[in-house]
């Protein structure tokens, strides 16, 4: 067992204050890989910890919000709409649903219960173990409620040119939709912004968007744009084998009983762990952190009185553990969280 990327401390580089390690310079290639201590960067991308994602969708009339929702629904996002909360309110009142009444009812709920009331009614029933897409976000207070509910909330704004939006609204044939640019401008004048804090505030919502999609092209282009957002914020990359084994080595290091430092090592062959080791006193000797090593417990200056130290090193223990159990380490790879000393380096090379 040897190194393919063996490295040594650079004498001018101070230890990293977090990992207690140093940057390294490379020595000649000698064989297998010995990855040294630098903490691999977190590979999960996007927001926070893993968990269900909530995507809010907002935008102007005919911009393509419904297509975004359908695309996400086909990818296991559970669809919800703040407009459904208003529909339930109209149904409770026994009032027929029209666009004007929907706007009036939404404003009335916000006025009576607060500007974020529609979102608050919705989030109370959200399951945090599944992905959701929430349509018809039309007030900045609704965005705030959703953000407070989970750090996994992201707001997507969809926009398109006026002419394109009018053509789409004509094609869908929905009653009450404007048919000219003038009608659309008149309709949206009340939705984009208002002095009434309970009214829709779409322009303010747009300013809060995490992502903006220009939907002036084909449906395929729109779907591709949404997929790219998912790829960057929902999907995650699996760690490489080297990162995987280094992560395990750091867990092994947590078992160290040395009061000076914690070092963990693992030996793997064919992507299979065959031995582990951490630094500490030998078998049958009291643990270092219990006073077993006089040198370590005297906190001697680094590099001095090494002949008095009873602790075995992590790399050394990994190799001897394999030998103890009759496991060959020939051609294996050793991963360690600290730069091996000269003795361990020679042992790694001689182990084959």
Radius of gyration (C-alpha) of the chain in whole angstroms: 31
- The predicted pLDDT at position 265 comes to 96
Tell me: the pLDDT tens digits for 196-209? Answer: 878 888 889 999 99
Percentage of residues in the chain having pLDDT higher than 90: 40
- The predicted pLDDT at position 234 comes to 66
- Provide the mean pLDDT of the chain: 80
Whether residues 262 and 336 fall in one domain: yes
How many domains does the chain divide into? Answer: 2
**pLDDT tops 60 at residue 233:** yes
Contact between 334 and 318 (Cβ < 8 Å): yes
Query: Distances from the Cα of 337 to the Cαs of 157, 239, 316, in angstroms?
Result: 45, 17, 13
Query: Residue 284: inside a domain, yes or no?
Result: yes
Q: What is the CATH number of the domain that holds 316?
A: 3.40.140.10
Whether residues 112 and 214 fall in one domain: yes
Whether residues 319 and 245 fall in one domain: yes
Query: Residue 1: inside a domain, yes or no?
Result: no
- The predicted pLDDT at position 129 comes to 80
Determine how β-strand 78-81 pairs with β-strand 132-135: parallel
Dist. CA 112–CA 106, nearest whole Å: 10
Query: Residue 179: inside a domain, yes or no?
Result: yes
Tell me: the pLDDT tens digits for 146-181? Answer: 999 888 899 999 999 888 888 888 887 776 677 777
Query: Residue 85: inside a domain, yes or no?
Result: yes
Last residue of a domain, one of 212, 233, 254: 233
Dist. CA 137–CA 166, nearest whole Å: 21
**pLDDT tops 90 at residue 242:** yes
Whether residues 38 and 110 fall in one domain: no
User: Mean of the pLDDT values across residues 56-69?
Assistant: 91
- The predicted pLDDT at position 305 comes to 78
Q: Which domain holds residue 189?
A: 54-233
Residue numbers annotated as active site:
315
Instruction: Name the DSSP class of 36.
Output: B
Whether residues 257 and 206 fall in one domain: no
Whether residues 210 and 315 fall in one domain: no
CA dihedral 340, 341, 346, 348 (to 10 degrees): -20
Whether residues 167 and 218 fall in one domain: yes
Query: Residue 49: inside a domain, yes or no?
Result: no
Tell me: the pLDDT tens digits for 64-90? Answer: 999 999 999 999 899 999 988 888 888
Whether residues 221 and 310 fall in one domain: no
By residue count, the chain amounts to: 352
Q: 302, 294, 64: which is closest to 169 by C-alpha?
A: 64
**pLDDT tops 80 at residue 43:** no
User: Mean of the pLDDT values across residues 211-226?
Assistant: 93
Tell me: the pLDDT tens digits for 318-347? Answer: 999 999 999 999 999 999 999 998 999 999
Whether residues 176 and 323 fall in one domain: no
Q: What angle do CA 279, 283, 285 make, to 5 degrees?
A: 90
Contact between 264 and 277 (Cβ < 8 Å): yes
Last residue of a domain, one of 192, 216, 233: 233
Q: 258, 341, 250: which is closest to 293 by C-alpha?
A: 258
**pLDDT tops 50 at residue 19:** no
- The predicted pLDDT at position 1 comes to 58
Dig out the tokens for 174 from the structure. Answer: 């929905």
Residue 41 CB neighbour total at 10 angstroms: 7
CB-hemisphere CA count at 13 Å for 18? 5
Last residue of a domain, one of 233, 261, 291: 233
Tell me: the pLDDT tens digits for 83-112? Answer: 888 888 888 888 888 878 888 888 888 889
User: Mean of the pLDDT values across residues 211-219?
Assistant: 93
- The predicted pLDDT at position 126 comes to 82
Whether residues 223 and 119 fall in one domain: yes
- The predicted pLDDT at position 125 comes to 76
- The predicted pLDDT at position 185 comes to 78
Query: Residue 147: inside a domain, yes or no?
Result: yes
């Amino acid at each position: 067992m040897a190194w393919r990327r063996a490295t040594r401390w650079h004498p001018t580089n101070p230890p990293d204050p977090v990992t207690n390690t140093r940057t390294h310079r490379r020595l000649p290639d000698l064989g297998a890989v010995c990855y040294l201590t630098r903490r691999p960067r977190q590979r999960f991308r996007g927001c926070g910890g893993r968990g269900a994602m909530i995507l809010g969708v907002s935008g102007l009339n005919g911009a393509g919000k419904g297509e975004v929702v359908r695309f996400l629904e086909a990818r296991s996002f559970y669809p919800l709409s703040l407009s459904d909360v208003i529909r339930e309110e109209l149904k409770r009142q026994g009032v027929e649903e029209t666009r004007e009444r929907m706007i009036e009812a939404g404003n009335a709920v916000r006025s009576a219960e607060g500007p974020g009331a529609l979102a608050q009614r919705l989030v109370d029933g959200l399951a945090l173990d599944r992905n959701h897409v929430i349509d018809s976000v039309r007030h900045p207070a609704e965005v705030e409620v959703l953000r407070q509910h989970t750090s996994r909330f992201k707001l997507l704004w969809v926009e398109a040119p006026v002419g394109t939006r009018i053509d789409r609204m004509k094609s869908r044939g929905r009653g009450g939709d404007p048919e000219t640019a003038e009608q659309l401008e008149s309709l949206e004048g009340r939705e984009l912004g208002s002095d009434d804090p309970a009214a829709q505030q779409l322009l303010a919502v747009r300013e809060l968007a995490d992502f903006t999609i220009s939907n002036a092209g084909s449906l395929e282009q729109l779907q591709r744009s949404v997929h790219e957002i998912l790829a960057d914020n929902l999907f995650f990359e699996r760690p490489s084998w080297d990162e995987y084994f280094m992560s395990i080595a750091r867990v092994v290091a947590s078992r160290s009983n040395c009061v000076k430092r914690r070092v963990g090592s693992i030996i793997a062959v064919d992507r299979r762990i065959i031995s582990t080791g951490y630094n500490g006193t030998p078998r049958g000797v009291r643990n270092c952190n219990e006073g077993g090593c006089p040198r370590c417990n005297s906190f001697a200056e680094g590099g001095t009185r090494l002949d008095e130290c009873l602790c075995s090193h992590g790399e050394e223990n990994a190799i001897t553990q394999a030998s103890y159990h009759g496991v060959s380490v020939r051609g294996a790879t050793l991963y360690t969280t600290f730069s091996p000393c000269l003795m361990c380096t020679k042992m790694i090379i001689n182990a084959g």
